[in-house]
Amino acid sequence: MIRVLLVDDHKLVRTGIRLILEDTPDIRVAGEGESGEAALELSRSLAIDLVLMDVSMPGIGGLEATRQLLARNPALKVIVVSVHATEPYPLQLMEAGAHGYLTKDCAAEEIVAAIRQVQAGKRYITASIAQQLALAKVDANRGSPFEQLSQREMQVMLMITDGQPSQAIAGRLHLSPKTVSTYRARLFAKLGVTNAVELTRLALRYGVIEEKPQHTGPHE
């Protein structure tokens, strides 16, 4: 039996995936969480083999949660299930240790196949994303400017565009405020932006984040 933890901040998404997995005799949903922090907490109390992880969530998000989960338990498997089908997310998550990457428009059968394949010790990347990763290796100059960010810079960038102030980012990532400021200045320089508003606009343009219905703008 493969014991799965579902992590997504949208209850409807979790419900849909759970209904799919309930019809699969060798897979059981062991728990559900709505944030990266919840994933870390639940992984301590639940017996799980694999995590289906969203990327864009409040708090530390899926990228940092994946990194921390696998640092704590290298035997755990993580499959990313995200609306983000373009770089830099797939490469960043795979570099963080994720074992698979699916898009949320994939078929029910593909989710089940990915879980079984990853649990068997293999990787599973949906075809369209696998093609992008292959092309990116061929042509390193193509694609999004966000591809040049390190994993940590990417984490800080996502939290800035989510409207989180530097003090909160420092606390969530267990960094000093000075270190966060250094990452902030570095990623601003790499992307050619001068403030959080410009950063958010650039991220929206390249599909790195999605526009929020009641977005009030990031803190400066």
> Does one domain contain both 118 and 24?
yes
Sheet containing strand 50-53, strands side by side: 27-33, 2-7, 50-53, 77-82, 100-103, 124-125
Domain count, the chain: 2
> Does one domain contain both 87 and 24?
yes
> Does one domain contain both 121 and 162?
no
How far is it, in rounded angstroms, from Cα 117 to Cα 99? 10
Query: Tell me, what's the pLDDT at 220?
Result: 43
Chain segment 64-117, per-residue pLDDT in tens: 999 999 999 999 999 999 887 766 778 888 888 999 999 888 999 999 999 999
Mean pLDDT value of segment 115-135 = 83
Which CATH number does the domain housing residue 16 bear? 3.40.50.2300
> Does one domain contain both 18 and 77?
yes
* Domain annotation covers residue 41: yes
Q: What is the pTM of this model?
A: 0.69
Residues 6 or more apart whose Cβ sits within 8 Å of residue 16: none
Examine the fold and report which residue of 138, 163, 191 is the final residue of a domain before the chain moves on. Answer: 138
